[in-house]
Amino acid sequence: MSSNIHANHLSLDASSSSSSSSSSSSSSSSSSSSSVHEPKMDALIIPVTMEVPCDSRGQRMWWAFLASSMVTFFGGLFIILLWRTLKYLWTVCCHCGGKTKEAQKINNGSSQADGTLKPVDEKEEVVAAEVGWMTSVKDWAGVMISAQTLTGRVLVVLVFALSIGALVIYFIDSSNPIESCQNFYKDFTLQIDMAFNVFFLLYFGLRFIAANDKLWFWLEVNSVVDFFTVPPVFVSVYLNRSWLGLRFLRALRLIQFSEILQFLNILKTSNSIKLVNLLSIFISTWLTAAGFIHLVENSGDPWENFQNNQALTYWECVYLLMVTMSTVGYGDVYAKTTLGRLFMVFFILGGLAMFASYVPEIIELIGNRKKYGGSYSAVSGRKHIVVCGHITLESVSNFLKDFLHKDRDDVNVEIVFLHNISPNLELEALFKRHFTQVEFYQGSVLNPHDLARVKIESADACLILANKYCADPDAEDASNIMRVISIKNYHPKIRIITQMLQYHNKAHLLNIPSWNWKEGDDAICLAELKLGFIAQSCLAQGLSTMLANLFSMRSFIKIEEDTWQKYYLEGVSNEMYTEYLSSAFVGLSFPTVCELCFVKLKLLMIAIEYKSANRESRSRKRILINPGNHLKIQEGTLGFFIASDAKEVKRAFFYCKACHDDVTDPKRIKKCGCRRLKAEARARYHKDPFAHKNATPNSRHVPKPVEDEQPPTLSPKKKQRNGGMRNSPNSSPKLMRHDPLLIPGNDQIDNMDSNVKKYDSTGMFHWCAPKEIEKVILTRSEAAMTVLSGHVVVCIFGDVSSALIGLRNLVMPLRASNFHYHELKHIVFVGSIEYLKREWETLHNFPKVSILPGTPLSRADLRAVNINLCDMCVILSANQNNIDDTSLQDKECILASLNIKSMQFDDSIGVLQANSQGFTPPGMDRSSPDNSPVHGMLRQPSITTGVNIPIITELVNDTNVQFLDQDDDDDPDTELYLTQPFACGTAFAVSVLDSLMSATYFNDNILTLIRTLVTGGATPELEALIAEENALRGGYSTPQTLANRDRCRVAQLALLDGPFADLGDGGCYGDLFCKALKTYNMLCFGIYRLRDAHLSTPSQCTKRYVITNPPYEFELVPTDLIFCLMQFDHNAGQSRASLSHSSHSSQSSSKKSSSVHSIPSTANRPNRPKSRESRDKQKYVQEERL
């Protein structure tokens, strides 16, 4: 019987010859003899050709190919499930022992609490386990398969391209029989397919190593495709035969086509992503179904002994599936096998829906779990943070761009986003581009179950983003406060960094019992910092741009042309870092170490962290900015540096005098083999339990603190505030100040200092008794008669229904107590009186504040307040977030800015110079030392056009910066920090503060330093006081409060004349840095330079730009203004009879100048006549401004 069946099958083979027939007869006789062992196997035969020797019996081996795939799939699945079961049993067995240890911990803690002495409430130390080699391999594999790096993008695209190539090989082989004998060494397509599948096997291994959940990875579509396509190729080589089988599953790789385009950043819009998703899913499903029909129709049904097969080409099957999905069904081609018809019944349902509706999401939902459900699986040795709040494409992209910046070294932190709304396709594409470090889960932080899903209890921190553009800031703050309450209620020890819009809402955070700023909790108030930055620009124009660039991570952009952008971008690449100082600096004064770091290490150190020897609490630590030469560096001092990346800052820790004293190249300063350095490194990791989050991995623990050599008159960390002022004094007794506007005589000044001048209860701000708003309102004629000069004009748009922007945060830095009363600039608000009445409750305790009811668009109002004589004009709007169209949000500010710039003025200064003393308006007589040119009235060239008026404009939408300067060439798509108005310090947007979230997480001292520099003295104690009374409280001038005035601040010094004039014409910045530091304890950190100073021909442009931390050999020009940190001068407010003022020629600069601090030159300068030295003693360094 067996021989008859075999003969019948051989007769169907048209390619068999007589020799093969005889061979088959002999094989049939032998098979009949062995029919006991193989009763039916000889019934499964394949075509045998003369060229390819195969099994002489010609039996089919399809089951071997299929078995290789099934064994691989189910075998791996069994191993994974077995491993999970054993792991679960081990956890259950160890659970009882863990509970016993936990109970003992609780009993010990309660017994300590019942004792007489309470233990120190220290935060439980969490020592991260060292990343093992398995985790390192896993991270490496994750980077290799991701599209975040260039290597990852190349690998992902290559895998997709090879998958398409394997599919093309399947199309070619589909013209052959389903199973045929092939020699691997002679078949070229089989060799290529083998090479492709070896690569797929390696890529499968990388994906398996990088997967967090191995079970779900094993069940992925791509994994199933590999199971049923890769093993059969190896079986083909072993058996010298080929089986088409399930190789058509490679068509499923087309589903990833949209992801590939997203990885390459080609698809960015929702419509394009949806279109590519539709096409890829439709085509891949179509081709895959056609491959299955081709297999079963050409093979036949197994239970029919494969007798009912029909010869169909693959493309005929493609045609059959298309007419079936379209419900046309011509009937010319149809399925004959039972398997084929059964498959068509089910395929019509899905194919018809897909064909008719073009909704690929419907197909994705079939049989799939919730896309953004599940729980986060923590990776051993890797921290994670939770980000919630306002999650949008803009906020997330800005956060990730700064958080994952390459200058931060290796960021071994995973970011988990939690939001109650699923991301749109654009945001989803962004998550996929960073999928190795970013995960998204749908849920709410107000739900404890969702907090458990993201493992908030084991998170390193929780960051809450705010909607900066919301119409109701108080409602947005209330939402974020509720998020803080929910998170703290679930886990009180979690560190929270939240954004707040309004300053007065920060007080509500103090009501949360577990909120503790000493343990790392921080609230970044955008209004406080935004207005603080703008206030600093009123005192030192361009400082807001410099500080904003310092805490933002920017990549270095090299420009070869000698343009202003070249020098600006070189400074933009600098950021703030912290690092512990080497023991080689121990015993040296701060200026000495600062000079050594700048000259030898090419680092700029601006501050250190002071911590008393008593380590009872973190509140004992203080940040001292340029503390002066009285303080000596001790072991374990933490320094604050300005550098281009974290690797450069490590030189301050590795520096060794014995090994690096003769090293000239700072790049060669690396860790040496000195025993002292090794002992210091060991001490850093074992001595102190307080951990710091610094930008460098070597700065984890705080060693022995700094000690002060003189009585503790310096303010504590949270009181060390820098009210950077253009008119700021120097710590040296020789430094002198100019007089402000409307200053009375010396006798009256002394009486004012003893009777009128007061400070708030903390001693950080000037204070006066509350005044009624009617007493400070000026009419237009009164303002014109006052002859305002050297003042600050604040143009504010708002009405009775506008949200409050918190003008107190703008006024407080301008009223810092480290200015003497006569140095305070007069502030004039121009705007709606209805709006200002609502703000007045927070402003009525500040002196020298006036209000002119009107509108900033009225030129008559602007002329009444002498806007052409002001030191700065600030343009703000409280109506910006009430407009849906982002392009129109800044329309009021832009119109006001353009209105001012188009104004024309008379030569007011020339008129005043021509007047006699008797006809000079009160306060404008500069002939005496007491009424000397305070703001450059005599020494300034007059302003005749509004273009030269210094203006800073607040913007909501970054792209609107293109409308501020009509003569610039900025591209509308240029980032804000690259535009000319921002580089010149004439525009400021709240979006630049987004980088503070990342900077605060990595280094909590950075926020303290920034607030120290911009707020003028806002401390936690002051915030608690404002939370009680919502106003400043006056206090007596005690030695303790007066000591708080002794803090550093920012100033701008001109090089046109004075002790630094010899360096202004072609001198080196490094020489200026060393001279200022040694002679006057001034710490220089930047330049404010004319935009066209690099041109060989004179230019009429008066715009300036910021250069941050220039190198030592940077060449100076006479018109430069130098940013510097100056000490408080106790002698400036006592006697001013000896003060004198100088003027410089208007031809020396093409722009208006304003006063800066005067430094009499007492040191003999070489190559200078003696008469010049004598004259320098009476001259002042003058500042030029826009």
Residue 876, pLDDT above cutoff 50: yes
What does the pLDDT average to over 601-626? 74
Query: Residue 1174's pLDDT is what?
Result: 36
Residue 384, pLDDT above cutoff 60: yes
Q: Is residue 20 part of a domain?
A: yes
pLDDT digit string, tens, across residues 148-163: 777 888 888 888 889 8
CATH number, domain with residue 661: 3.30.70.1450
Q: Are residues 764 and 844 in the same domain?
A: yes
Q: Which of 959, 977, 994 is the last residue of a domain?
A: 994
Residue 724, pLDDT above cutoff 60: no
Q: Are residues 7 and 33 in the same domain?
A: yes
Q: Is residue 1154 part of a domain?
A: yes
* 816 DSSP assignment: B
Q: Are residues 839 and 970 in the same domain?
A: yes
- Distance of alpha carbon 1010 from its chain centroid, rounded? 16
| Mean pLDDT across the chain | 75
713: exposed, middle or buried (C-beta count within 10 Å: 0-12, 13-18, 19+)?
Answer: middle
Residue 822, pLDDT above cutoff 50: yes
Query: Residue 92's pLDDT is what?
Result: 81
| Confidence band of 908 (pLDDT split at 50, 70, 90) | low
Query: Residue 914's pLDDT is what?
Result: 43
108-117, 601-610, 623-632, 828-837, range with the lowest pLDDT: 108-117
Residue 740, pLDDT above cutoff 50: no
Q: Are residues 67 and 42 in the same domain?
A: no
Residue 1032, pLDDT above cutoff 70: yes
Please check whether residue 526 is in contact with residue 502, taking contact to mean a CB–CB distance below 8 angstroms. no
Residue 428, pLDDT above cutoff 70: yes
Q: Count other C-beta atoms under 10 Å from residue 373's C-beta.
A: 10
Query: Residue 369's pLDDT is what?
Result: 59
What does the pLDDT average to over 121-145? 61
Query: Residue 628's pLDDT is what?
Result: 80
| Confidence band of 604 (pLDDT split at 50, 70, 90) | very high
| Confidence band of 132 (pLDDT split at 50, 70, 90) | low
pLDDT digit string, tens, across residues 628-675: 888 888 888 899 999 988 888 999 998 888 787 777 778 888 887 774
What does the pLDDT average to over 791-819? 92
The closest alpha carbon to 258, from 137, 436, 509, 429, belongs to: 429
1145 or 558, higher pLDDT: 558
| Confidence band of 359 (pLDDT split at 50, 70, 90) | low
What does the pLDDT average to over 930-939? 33
Q: Is residue 126 part of a domain?
A: no
pLDDT digit string, tens, across residues 401-410: 889 888 776 6
Residue 713, pLDDT above cutoff 60: no
For 305: left if phi > 0, alpha if psi spans -120 to 50, otherwise beta; the answer is left
List of residues 6+ apart from 409 with CB closer than 8 A: 646, 647, 695, 696, 697
| Confidence band of 704 (pLDDT split at 50, 70, 90) | very low
Please check whether residue 584 is in contact with residue 593, taking contact to mean a CB–CB distance below 8 angstroms. no
Residue 710, pLDDT above cutoff 70: no
942 or 775, higher pLDDT: 775
Tally of CA atoms within 13 A in the half-sphere of 564 that contains its CB: 20
259 or 921, higher pLDDT: 259
Q: Are residues 809 and 661 in the same domain?
A: no
> 10 lies in which domain range?
2-59
Q: Is residue 920 part of a domain?
A: yes
Q: Are residues 685 and 755 in the same domain?
A: no
Residue 769, pLDDT above cutoff 80: yes
Residue 348, pLDDT above cutoff 50: yes
- Percent of the chain topping pLDDT 90: 25
Query: Residue 104's pLDDT is what?
Result: 61
What does the pLDDT average to over 297-323? 84
Q: Give me Rg for the CA atoms of the chain.
A: 38
Q: Are residues 161 and 50 in the same domain?
A: no
Tokens representing 481 are 């406060």
The closest alpha carbon to 433, from 401, 406, 459, 387, belongs to: 401
Rounded-to-integer distance, Cα 591 and Cα 903, Å: 47
pLDDT digit string, tens, across residues 959-973: 888 888 876 666 677
Q: Which of 212, 235, 267 is the last residue of a domain?
A: 267
Query: Residue 738's pLDDT is what?
Result: 33
The residue with tokens 């050709």 is 49
Q: Is residue 238 part of a domain?
A: yes
97 or 4, higher pLDDT: 97
Q: Are residues 815 and 788 in the same domain?
A: yes
Rounded-to-integer distance, Cα 361 and Cα 1074, Å: 66
196-210, 541-555, 585-599, 1007-1021, range with the lowest pLDDT: 1007-1021
Residue 749, pLDDT above cutoff 70: no
Please check whether residue 1021 is in contact with residue 695, taking contact to mean a CB–CB distance below 8 angstroms. no
Q: Is residue 777 part of a domain?
A: yes
Report which secondary-structure segment, H or E, holds 1089. Answer: strand 1083-1090
pLDDT digit string, tens, across residues 1054-1078: 888 888 888 888 889 999 999 999 9
Rounded-to-integer distance, Cα 620 and Cα 706, Å: 11
Q: Are residues 25 and 68 in the same domain?
A: no
Rounded-to-integer distance, Cα 480 and Cα 251, Å: 47
Q: Is residue 1017 part of a domain?
A: no
What is the CA angle 345-350-353, rounded to 5?
A: 125
pLDDT digit string, tens, across residues 840-874: 999 999 999 999 999 999 999 999 999 999 999 99
Residue 625, pLDDT above cutoff 50: yes
pLDDT digit string, tens, across residues 493-513: 999 999 999 988 888 998 899
Q: Are residues 787 and 906 in the same domain?
A: yes
In the three-class reduction of DSSP (H, G, I as helix; E, B as strand; rest coil), residue 849 is classed as: strand
Residue 1033, pLDDT above cutoff 60: yes
Q: Are residues 662 and 618 in the same domain?
A: yes
742 or 399, higher pLDDT: 399
Query: How would DSSP label each residue in 152-183?
Result: HHHHHHHHHHHHHHHHHHHHHHTTS-SEEE--
pLDDT digit string, tens, across residues 79-105: 888 888 888 888 888 776 665 555 565
Tally of CA atoms within 13 A in the half-sphere of 1156 that contains its CB: 31
Say what the pTM is.
0.65
113-127, 195-209, 938-952, range with the lowest pLDDT: 113-127
Write the CA distances from 511 to 447, 589, 851, integer angstroms.
21, 42, 35
In the three-class reduction of DSSP (H, G, I as helix; E, B as strand; rest coil), residue 425 is classed as: helix
Query: Residue 48's pLDDT is what?
Result: 40
Tokens representing 77 are 């699945």
What does the pLDDT average to over 270-281? 76
Query: Residue 55's pLDDT is what?
Result: 55
Q: Are residues 755 and 702 in the same domain?
A: no
Query: Residue 970's pLDDT is what?
Result: 63
Q: Count other C-beta atoms under 10 Å from residue 270's C-beta.
A: 14
Domain count, the chain: 5
Highest mean pLDDT among 215-229, 494-508, 547-561, 1088-1102: 494-508
Q: Which of 702, 719, 736 is the last residue of a domain?
A: 719
Q: Count other C-beta atoms under 10 Å from residue 171's C-beta.
A: 14
* 633 DSSP assignment: -
Residue 735, pLDDT above cutoff 60: no
Q: Is residue 1066 part of a domain?
A: yes
| Confidence band of 890 (pLDDT split at 50, 70, 90) | confident
